[in-house]
């Protein structure tokens, strides 16, 4: 179970100044629609991985303003009418989200919110914080897992994470992305992510000799013995002492060693030598674990160069996504509802990438029925129906002459209901189910989308009706 904290006031202050202003102008009950989407895949990759929905759900379930919150806002000059509303606050929005573990792409709504403007606007900060952080780490983790080519990857980054929540939820996101476990114990207790770990160099240094350190550890943990062999000299003392302990302590008791870990040096070279020494000593089943500031590129190169590594421990470069540390999700108003009539809203910018897509929308992933592979994603207006029984013409929303007609396809809606009128209607899968779903969904993407350098551009298309609406509004706004 997660520790319950009141995070209601974890919001940008302008959300509160705007909310107070909505009351002053009588607009607090105006029904609005907001979309969260992102503009760029981290590390110039082909796709990102959705994560953080469960933490967003917990936040929305527990939205309430304490007496201390009310008094703080009173001192900041908020109106008594507004403060009276907050004292009896009840979340009443509808929320849709793309399920955790789903591959996601720039420009498409991954969270959709409908409700009174004060509420829908107020939750912006936490919507972005929850989804941006965990999607970033899940995406990085999946890159590293794919680079490992079937070898296990363990998340080892707690001590280098940005704060304790970065460690706890970073471990969760890394597991969604495909990691086999974490060094972060509390993430095991909270989420059921396997906590893994053996010893530090200090264990070896504490004893009078490396052999004594290994012997003591093997005697304590005979059924799960993994030894850190690079404290002094990996090949001259670490592996020979490990083999000696395996022979003298484990073998007589009927146990086999689980592994050895190397954390420094030329791991590709060392692992080949280590493998030969272990095999010749009669321990071909002893696994070799590598750590030390690894990332997807180092792991890929090591494997290509013949490294004899069975699993990887990856820390700082995973849990901070150090090569691309920002997931640029944004939260934008897309429609206003007046007397039951929905009026689309658009944001115009000199920066073309910042022009928003207006209206209340749905997102579909189109799958080829013969291959099972994803063809493209399609954003439509909410009242449109994609008829799978007929050919459907897709076109590039920027280069509209690029068109493709598809047949024999399935259109799967990506957004699922999370809250209805403020009540949670979604049952979150287990973390293991999310990880399994993530890996299955990534397998529906073509290899060209998965590559690290210059991945194929997976298309996120607009329906003709939505494209027409967007360009109608652009033309109208230009006249103003």
Using one digit for the tens of pLDDT, what is the confidence trace for 62-116? 999 999 999 999 999 999 999 999 999 999 999 999 999 999 999 999 999 999 9
In the chain, CATH 3.20.20.70 covers: 150-319
What CA–CA distance (Å, rounded) separates 419 from 57? 8
Q: Left (φ > 0), alpha (ψ -120 to 50) or beta: where does 276 sit?
A: alpha
* Chain centre distance of CA 120: 23
What CA–CA distance (Å, rounded) separates 346 from 369? 35
pLDDT digits (tens, 9 = 90+) for 190-237: 999 999 988 999 999 999 999 999 999 999 999 999 999 999 999 999
pLDDT digits (tens, 9 = 90+) for 372-395: 999 999 999 999 999 999 999 999
Q: How far is CA 373 from CA 50, 366, 393, in A?
A: 19, 9, 18
What CA–CA distance (Å, rounded) separates 85 from 19? 11
Rg of the chain's alpha carbons, rounded to an integer? 26
Rounded (10°) angle between helices 296-304 and 124-147: 10
What CA–CA distance (Å, rounded) separates 466 from 415? 17
Per CATH, domain 150-319 is 3.40.50.970: no
What confidence score (pLDDT) does residue 2 get? 46
Q: How far is CA 264 from CA 70, 227, 274, 295, 311, in A?
A: 54, 14, 13, 14, 15
Residue 195 is classified by DSSP as B
What confidence score (pLDDT) does residue 4 get? 67
What CA–CA distance (Å, rounded) separates 61 from 11? 16
What CA–CA distance (Å, rounded) separates 106 from 316? 26
3-state SS assignment for residue 114: strand
Residue 129 and residue 165 in contact, taking contact as beta carbons nearer than 8 Å: no
Q: Left (φ > 0), alpha (ψ -120 to 50) or beta: where does 13 sit?
A: alpha
- Number of Cβ within a 10 Å radius of residue 454: 9
Comparing CA positions, the residue from 351, 297, 352 lying closest to residue 146 is 297
Q: What is the mean pLDDT of each run of 10 residues along the chain (480 residues)?
A: 75 96 93 98 98 98 95 96 94 98 98 97 98 98 98 96 96 98 96 94 98 98 97 98 98 97 97 98 98 95 97 97 96 94 93 92 98 98 96 95 96 98 97 98 98 96 97 86
Enclosing H/E stretch for 341: strand 341-344
Q: What angle do CA 95, 19, 11 make, to 5 degrees?
A: 65
If 0-12 CB within 10 Å is exposed, 13-18 middle and 19+ buried, where does residue 475 land? exposed
The second-level CATH assignment, the architecture, of 13-137+325-479 is Alpha-Beta Barrel (3.20)
């Amino acid at each position: 179970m997660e520790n319950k904290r009141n995070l209601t006031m974890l919001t940008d202050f302008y959300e509160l100044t705007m909310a107070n202003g909505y009351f002053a102008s009588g607009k607090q009950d105006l029904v609005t629609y907001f979309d969260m989407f992102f503009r760029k895949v981290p590390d110039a990759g082909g796709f990102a991985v959705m994560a953080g929905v469960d933490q967003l759900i917990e936040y929305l379930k527990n939205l309430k303003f304490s007496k201390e919150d009310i008094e703080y806002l009173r001192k900041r000059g908020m109106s008594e009418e507004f403060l009276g509303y907050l004292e009896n606050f009840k979340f009443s929005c509808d929320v849709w989200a793309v399920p955790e573990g789903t591959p996601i792409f720039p420009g498409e709504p991954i969270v959709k919110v409908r409700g009174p403007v004060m509420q829908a606007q107020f939750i912006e900060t936490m919507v972005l914080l929850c989804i941006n952080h965990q999607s970033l780490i899940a995406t990085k983790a999946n890159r590293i897992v794919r680079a490992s080519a079937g070898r296990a990857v363990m998340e080892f980054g707690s001590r280098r994470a940005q704060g304790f929540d970065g460690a706890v939820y970073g471990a969760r996101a890394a597991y969604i992305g495909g990691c086999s476990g974490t060094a972060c114990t509390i993430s095991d207790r909270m989420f059921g992510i396997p906590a893994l770990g053996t010893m530090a160099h200090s264990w070896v240094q504490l004893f009078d000799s490396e052999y004594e350190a290994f012997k003591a550890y093997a005697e304590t943990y005979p059924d799960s013995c993994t030894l850190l062999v690079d404290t002094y000299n990996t090949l001259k003392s670490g592996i020979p002492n490990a083999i000696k302990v395996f022979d003298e302590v484990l073998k007589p008791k009927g146990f086999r060693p689980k592994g050895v870990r190397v954390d420094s040096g030329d791991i590709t070279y060392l692992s080949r030598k280590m493998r030969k020494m272990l095999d010749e000593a009669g321990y071909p089943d002893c696994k070799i674990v590598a750590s030390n500031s690894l990332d997807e590129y180092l792991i890929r190169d090591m494997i290509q160069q013949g490294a004899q590594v069975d699993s990887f421990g990856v820390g700082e470069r995973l849990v901070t996504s150090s090569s691309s540390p920002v997931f640029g999700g944004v939260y934008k108003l897309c429609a206003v509802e007046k007397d039951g009539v929905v009026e689309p809203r658009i944001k115009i910018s000199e920066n073309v990438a910042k022009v928003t897509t207006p209206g209340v929308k749905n997102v579909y992933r189109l799958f080829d029925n013969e291959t099972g592979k994803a063809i493209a994603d399609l954003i439509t207006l909410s009242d449109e129906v994609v008829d799978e029984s007929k050919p459907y013409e897709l076109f590039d929303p920027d280069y509209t002459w690029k068109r493709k007609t598809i047949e024999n396809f399935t259109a799967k809606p990506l957004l699922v209901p999370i809250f209805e009128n403020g009540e949670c209607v979604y049952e979150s899968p287990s973390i293991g189910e999310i990880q399994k779903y993530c890996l299955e969904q990534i397998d529906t993407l073509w290899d060209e989308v998965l590559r690290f350098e210059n991945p194929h551009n997976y298309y996120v298309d607009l329906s003709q009706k939505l494209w027409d609406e967007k360009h109608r509004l652009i033309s109208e706004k230009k006249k103003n």
